[in-house]
């Protein structure tokens, strides 16, 4: 079974693209969602995060996301320490999930696929991209946030061009109708490539 990494900058619409692949019967693993679940359910992660961030890391047995976001925002060292706790557990969870799948390929959606090196475990990579202004508009609608905060997050991620150069497929996600067509084409190309191996 082939592993297809799906990535893209914040606001590019990775989740929208993942949903379209799901409609074609492709199993989808959304790493960020699974990380969030594990941060709430794994006692080991909870213990280690409390040791790192203090008792306030959890509030009423739930991860105190605003508190953590404030601490790790613009603090690369602290972010790396948190990732060192969470990422290995997500990797184990993914391996177990993978064993249960039955399909020619699966999609693993990871926001920082290139930045954290997990693209090395992928047979193919799809980068989702969209115009910067479109991305900002989506994020302002989705979250109560500011343009300055969005730009700070974008500046911490690899630029699209750098991701595209290392990807086998690119999906331009500006207009949904076009995106759906591109997803179908990409799906067909991956299946053809797998069949030819």
Position 95 in a domain? no
The answer to the question of whether 11 is labelled as a binding residue is yes
Q: How far is CA 161 from CA 30, 118, 191, in A?
A: 23, 18, 26
With a cut of 90, say whether residue 162 has pLDDT above it.
Answer: yes
Q: How far, in whole angstroms, is CA 181 from its chain's centroid?
A: 22
The answer to the question of whether 13 is labelled as a binding residue is yes
The residue among 194, 126, 136, 196 whose CA lies nearest residue 166 is 126
Q: Report pLDDT for 42.
A: 94
With a cut of 70, say whether residue 144 has pLDDT above it.
Answer: no
pTM of the prediction?
A: 0.91
What CA–CA distance (Å, rounded) separates 141 from 118? 30
What CA–CA distance (Å, rounded) separates 155 from 9? 10
For 31-40, 140-149, 158-167, 169-178, which range has the lowest pLDDT when averaged over its residues? 140-149
Q: How far is CA 27 from CA 20, 35, 183, in A?
A: 11, 18, 14
Q: What is the mean pLDDT of residues 128-150?
A: 89
The CB density around residue 142, as the number of other CB atoms within 10 Å, is 9
pLDDT in tens, 57-105: 999 889 999 999 889 877 889 989 999 999 999 999 999 999 999 999 9
Q: Structural domain of residue 193, as residue ranges?
A: 1-27+101-197
What CA–CA distance (Å, rounded) separates 53 from 56? 7
Q: 34-53: buried (b, 16+ CB within 10 Å) or exposed (e) per residue? A: bbeebbeebeebbebbeeeb
Tokens of 15: 């989740």
Position 94 in a domain? no
Residue 28 and residue 144 in contact, taking contact as beta carbons nearer than 8 Å: no
The answer to the question of whether 9 is labelled as a binding residue is no
Q: Indicate the average pLDDT of the chain.
A: 94
What CA–CA distance (Å, rounded) separates 53 from 78? 9
Same domain, 6 and 50: no
Same domain, 23 and 36: no
The answer to the question of whether 41 is labelled as a binding residue is no
The answer to the question of whether 179 is labelled as a binding residue is no
Question: What's the CATH code of the domain at 165?
Answer: 3.40.50.300
With a cut of 90, say whether residue 38 has pLDDT above it.
Answer: yes
3-state secondary structure of 57: helix
Same domain, 108 and 17: yes
Reported as a pLDDT band with limits 50, 70 and 90, residue 116 is confident
pLDDT in tens, 45-55: 999 999 999 99
The answer to the question of whether 12 is labelled as a binding residue is yes
The number of domains in the chain is 2
Position 51 in a domain? yes
Q: What backbone phi and psi angles, to 5 degrees, belong to 173?
A: -105, 65
Q: Report pLDDT for 152.
A: 84
């Amino acid at each position: 079974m082939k592993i297809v990494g799906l990535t893209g900058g914040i606001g590019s619409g990775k989740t929208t693209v993942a949903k379209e692949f799901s409609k074609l019967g492709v199993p989808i693993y959304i790493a960020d969602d699974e990380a969030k679940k594990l941060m709430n359910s794994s006692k080991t992660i909870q213990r280690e995060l409390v040791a790192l961030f203090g008792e306030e890391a959890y509030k009423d047995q739930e991860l105190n996301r605003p508190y953590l976001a404030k601490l790790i925002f613009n603090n690369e060292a602290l972010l790396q320490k948190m990732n060192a706790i969470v990422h290995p557990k997500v990797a184990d969870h993914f391996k177990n999930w993978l064993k249960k799948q039955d399909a020619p390929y699966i999609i693993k959606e990871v926001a920082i696929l290139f930045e954290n090196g997990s693209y090395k475990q992928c047979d193919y990579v799809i980068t989702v991209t969209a115009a910067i202004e479109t991305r900002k508009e989506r994020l302002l609608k989705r979250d109560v946030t500011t343009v300055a905060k969005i730009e700070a997050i974008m500046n911490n991620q690899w630029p699209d061009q750098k991701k595209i150069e290392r990807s086998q497929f690119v999906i331009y996600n500006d207009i949904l109708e076009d995106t759906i067509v591109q997803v179908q084409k990409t799906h067909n190309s991956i299946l053809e490539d797998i069949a030819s191996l």
